[in-house]
Amino acid sequence: MARKHRRSRSRFDVIMMSDFRLPGGTTSSNIEEMKAQKKAGLTTGLYQMSGHPNSKAKRLNPKIRRMIDGTRIRLLRPAARASCKTLIIRHPRILHVRRRLKPRISAQNIHIIINQTPKKDYGGNGQTVYRIGRCQRRVRQYFGKSGIWHPIGPQVRKTLQQYHAQDLRNIRLAAEDWVNIINTREWKRKSRPAKNGVIRIGRHSRDAYVKWPSNRNDLLAIYPSSSKYEIHVLGGARTPRKILGKLPSNWHVQPFGARAPKFFLAKLDVFVYFTHPDCVEAFGRVIFEAMAAEVPVILPPSYKELFGEAAIYAKPAEVQQKIEALMADSNYYEQQVARATRYVETHFGYTKHRARLK
């Protein structure tokens, strides 16, 4: 009779569990943490779990595939046995769906990153995308322990406390947010664009209704149709087209993924980012990408707790005034760039991630 050999368990410093097919901020956040871990000499295992059963994306995002090197960063098979010091679960939605195959992962420490609120928006009919209680039961079922839950930013934390207080009683909520990270050196542009008499306002996001202001007046106050400005949009503009009827002639729109954000941002004078009033923007990775690219950023005041002095804050009716003041004073422009760069490096640098892994 042939001897049966028990399959060995692969060991990693970090295992990341997420939906690695996604096209947006979740994938960018995962990649930055992989890069930080690799730079720190840590080994990383990737475990794919779908959070969107009806998603058209069937394969891993190509950006994720390029990160897998077979040594420092490896992709785990669904049935693989593995262990790690730290398990990072990003995107709670992946825990909401029942699975036939239970992950065979043993982890000393488990961190569940709340990078999306349980509801899509908090208006009257906001769709529920996952339930905290169900996700917590899955964590215990899969790994035999509860783990620590981390909001990705202060807006998510406030939303959980306001709308999901009952659920929070059954989980361990970390005192500190698990903020996104970035390497500013990779994003810094060579020089500020030359002035050509037109102010180039840009924004980058997925083309979802929650990513845009909700009415005509706010849209045109924030992204004006005046010939004084060019409005550059990376990510599509079906939502504003639906609100406005048609897009103004000074808008220049590219689909999501049509250009690398780094090169898109390098050509802008200012980055202006406003979303739907009922939407809770979990973090806004695109915001600090613009800051890292040395483009001044204008935001609604709700972001001040997260980005502090790194941004300029305005209500919709104040946006054009803030832009004009910025563009009229080169010293003010450069000072704002310097403030943002310092802030991003201090609060969202790779050292931040290495410290929390310890």
Query: pLDDT tier at 126 (50, 70, 90 boundaries)?
Result: confident
Average pLDDT over residues 196-213: 92
How far apart are the C-alpha atoms of 32 and 83, rounded to whole Å?
22
How far apart are the C-alpha atoms of 310 and 160, rounded to whole Å?
25
State percent of the chain over pLDDT 70. Answer: 96
Average pLDDT, whole number, for the chain? 92
Closest CA to 322 of 351, 350, 300: 300
**Count of the separate structural domains present in the chain:** 2
pLDDT above 60 for 2: no
Q: What is the CATH number of the domain that holds 315?
A: 3.40.50.2000
pTM of the model: 0.84
Query: pLDDT tier at 3 (50, 70, 90 boundaries)?
Result: very low
- The three-class DSSP label of residue 53 is coil
Tell whether 189 and 265 lie within a shared domain: yes
Tell whether 32 and 105 lie within a shared domain: yes
Query: pLDDT tier at 233 (50, 70, 90 boundaries)?
Result: very high
DSSP 226-266: STTEEEEEES--HHHHHHHSS--TTEEEE-TTSS-HHHHHH
Query: Which pLDDT score is estimated for 23?
Result: 83
Last residue in a domain, options 145, 161, 178: 178
Average pLDDT over residues 335-347: 95
Please give the structure tokens belonging to residue 209. 């209704």
**CA atoms in the 13 A half-sphere facing the CB of 283:** 24
Please give the structure tokens belonging to residue 341. 């760069």
Please give the structure tokens belonging to residue 208. 């979802």
Q: E strands within the chain?
A: 10-18, 44-48, 73-75, 81-90, 104-114, 148-151, 199-204, 229-234, 251-254, 270-272, 297-299, 312-313
Tell whether 130 and 221 lie within a shared domain: no
Distance, CA of 187 to chain centre = 16
Please give the structure tokens belonging to residue 170. 């059954």
Query: pLDDT tier at 208 (50, 70, 90 boundaries)?
Result: confident
Average pLDDT over residues 212-219: 95
Tell whether 242 and 171 lie within a shared domain: no
Count CB atoms within 10 A of the CB of residue 193. 12
Query: Which pLDDT score is estimated for 7?
Result: 52
Q: Domain residues for 277? A: 184-347
Q: Are 231 and 248 in contact (CB under 8 A)?
A: yes
User: 54 in a domain, yes or no?
Assistant: yes
Last residue in a domain, options 158, 178, 198: 178
End-to-end CA distance of the chain: 47
Please give the structure tokens belonging to residue 344. 């991003």
User: 252 in a domain, yes or no?
Assistant: yes
Average pLDDT over residues 329-333: 97
User: 2 in a domain, yes or no?
Assistant: no
Average pLDDT over residues 193-202: 92
Q: Looking up tokens 């929650």, which residue turns up?
A: 210
How far apart are the C-alpha atoms of 283 and 104, rounded to whole Å?
31
Query: Which pLDDT score is estimated for 183?
Result: 93
Residues whose CB falls within 8 Å of the CB of residue 63, separated by 6 or more in sequence, listed in order: 27, 31
Instruction: Dump pLDDT digits (tens) for 134-156.
Output: 999 999 999 999 999 999 999 89
Q: Are 154 and 177 in contact (CB under 8 A)?
A: yes
User: 51 in a domain, yes or no?
Assistant: yes
Query: Which pLDDT score is estimated for 99?
Result: 82
What distances in angstroms separate CA 66 from CA 48, 189, 350, one per listed residue?
15, 24, 20
Query: Which pLDDT score is estimated for 1?
Result: 38
Tell whether 171 and 231 lie within a shared domain: no
Instruction: Dump pLDDT digits (tens) for 15-72.
Output: 999 999 998 889 999 999 999 999 999 999 999 998 765 556 678 999 999 999 999 9
Query: Which pLDDT score is estimated for 87?
Result: 98
Which of 262-295 are b and which e, b meaning 16 or more Cβ less than 10 Å from the residue's Cβ? eebbbebbbbbbbbbebbbbbbbbbbbbbbbbbb
Query: Which pLDDT score is estimated for 358?
Result: 84
Q: Looking up tokens 């043993």, which residue turns up?
A: 106
Instruction: Dump pLDDT digits (tens) for 81-113.
Output: 999 999 999 999 999 888 888 999 999 999 999
Tell whether 164 and 211 lie within a shared domain: no
User: 340 in a domain, yes or no?
Assistant: yes
How far apart are the C-alpha atoms of 206 and 142, rounded to whole Å?
32
Tell whether 189 and 152 lie within a shared domain: no
Q: What is the CATH number of the domain that holds 87?
A: 3.40.50
Query: Which pLDDT score is estimated for 54?
Result: 55
User: 304 in a domain, yes or no?
Assistant: yes
Tell whether 152 and 18 lie within a shared domain: yes
Query: pLDDT tier at 8 (50, 70, 90 boundaries)?
Result: low
